[in-house]
Chains A and B, each alone.
Chain A
Amino acid sequence: MEEIKDTFLHPVVPLDFQNNYRVGAYLQRYLDGFKEKKILGAKCSQCGRVVVPPRKYCGACNLVMEEFTELPQEGTLENFTVGHVNLEKGQWKRADAPYVIGMVRLDGAANAMLARLNVSPADARAGMKVKAVWKDQVEGEHADLDCFEPA
């Protein structure tokens, strides 16, 4: 029998569901705060922890957090990694230059947030103080909070 050559087919009907997500009241408040270059967290009335971005329930106390509170724009870089690749749609490509992303804990926050750092890989240190850098034009979008840089 003649050898059959395998082919890969891409589906004619691709898997391209357009999912739309409501962000919910808590993340909406957070993004609205960006319009004034403010970072809002949610505070638990029982344990006093502030989580950012704000979410409705305190995981530790299993209580609804009703108070929104503004956090300082400075914090600590707790942990970081130097990226040498970028992932796009599940494929990685070598980055043009190494870059730093890391976990920033804002002063007074109970949790850390992942952010881009405007610092050279050689200068990044766990424990360094950092501050938020905003885009000049803010629109109430995630991208408004551009990155953090050494304070």
Chain B
Amino acid sequence: MEKKVAIAGFRIAAAPDLETTRERLVFDLSKGLLDDLGITRDAVDNFVFCSNDFMDGRTISHVFIGPAAGGYMKDQTKVEMDGLNAMIYASMGIISGQYDVTMVVALSLTGSQASPYLYTDYSLDPTYDRQLKLLNELSAAALEARSYLTAGGYPEELLDVVAAQDLKNAAANPGQARRIDGVSRERIKGSPYYYEPLRELHCYPPTDGGCAMLLVSEKKAKELTDKPVWLLGMGRSTDIYYLGDRDLSTSLSAAQAAERAYAMAGIKDPASELDLAEIMSLFAHQEPLLAEAMGLLEKGKAAAAYEAGDTAVEGRMPINPSGGPLGAHPICATGLIRAAEAARQLRGEAGENQVKKAGVALAHGQDGVCAQQSAVVILGT
């Protein structure tokens, strides 16, 4: 794909409780980003928001956050899925030639002001699953975890190994909400079960947070930044709704979304051509599961790859060097944050967690029960 869309800049915020309002968070993120780039809202010709009406407790919630982002009297639309879908949608507006500068803002206050688990509850079939009251985000993830571990012949301890790597990376990333110093596999294994095999520290923490990203055309990229990060490919896919019809040991949506993104970016061997991946794994098992599905790790060899350090910051295929969603999951923003964290790596600004040679990166986002929907972007310098 030609270099037509660039990330000019981004801002991330995440904490268990940001002690702020939705409007203030959106203002701080977007005004901060405009200040970083030395421009005003006059330079922006399109705004794309990603929020959820249930999480915000009001319908058409972006009418309240649009003005806070400086989007009044401008073109505004909202995507109500994961924020990586908002990034893809916003990019299409630039590729089509309609816009040159688009601000994408995604957020939720699901740490302090709304329960994250309701988001999934309200997505379930009201005449079946919501009647039976057995399926919820945590029980579904546990079934997926068991299915993946069984199929790969992996021990339950793989979850502790994955979580330990993520939480170590998260502790070194000031942009994360859950930062635990010196977290050990033993401490993770000692945290209480929700649904077996998933324990508290295998699961994402309820998080307040958001992300603002400025996407620009090639012409504007030259004016606004010395370190443009280019969109090289993108893909999306949606799997079957019914959990009992799906093979939970893998992710068809991630595999197909990645395949489409690789084709667009001209990537033939992702495991060797990609320098790092930021994956929206909300639970420890999803990280190797999604990495295998997207061809980043060999099927059935994930445990060996983690033990050998292949997936660590200094490894052959660094996965979630930012710490990933086990460090923060502000619903709606999490996938967009993956793209921002990948861009941070490509710009060489990831501090302690910087991957040495970072030229091409993958970012993954998901929505729905057990990643029913996946979005993938390939980014490069």
List residues of chain A with CB under 8 Å of any chain B CB: 6, 8, 11, 15, 19, 21, 23-24, 27, 51, 53, 59, 79-85, 87, 89-92, 101-103, 105, 110-116, 121, 126, 142
* A-B interface contact total, Cβ < 8 Å: 92
Contact B136 A84 (CB under 8 A): no
Contact A83 B128 (CB under 8 A): no
List residues of chain B with CB under 8 Å of any chain A CB: 19, 54, 57-58, 113-118, 121, 126-129, 131-132, 134-136, 138-139, 142-143, 146-147, 150, 192-197, 240, 242-245, 248
| Chain B residues closer than 8 Å to A79, beta-carbon distance | 143, 146-147, 150, 248
Contact B117 A90 (CB under 8 A): yes
Q: How far is the CA of A19 from the CA of B127 in the complex (A)?
A: 11
Contact B117 A103 (CB under 8 A): no
> Given known contacts A90-B117, A92-B138, A113-B244, is B146 in contact with A80 (CB within 8 Å)?
yes
Q: How far is the CA of A21 from the CA of B147 in the complex (A)?
A: 32
Q: Which residue of A lies closest to B136 (CB)?
A: A87
Q: Which among B132, B138, B240 is the interface contact of A87 at CB below 8 angstroms? A: B138
* Cβ distance A79 to chain B, nearest Cβ, rounded Å: 5
| Chain B residues closer than 8 Å to A103, beta-carbon distance | 143, 243-244
Q: Which among A19, A82, A142 is the interface contact of B132 at CB below 8 angstroms? A: A142
**Most chain B CB within a 10 A radius of its CB, from A23, A79, A115:** A79
23 A-B pairs with C-beta separation under 8 A:
A15-B54, A51-B245, A53-B128, A59-B245, A79-B150, A80-B146, A81-B195, A81-B196, A83-B139, A84-B193, A87-B139, A89-B115, A89-B118, A90-B118, A90-B121, A92-B117, A92-B194, A103-B243, A111-B244, A113-B244, A114-B134, A114-B244, A115-B134
* Cβ distance A54 to chain B, nearest Cβ, rounded Å: 11
Q: Which residue of A lies closest to B145 (CB)?
A: A81
| Chain A residues closer than 8 Å to B19, beta-carbon distance | 6
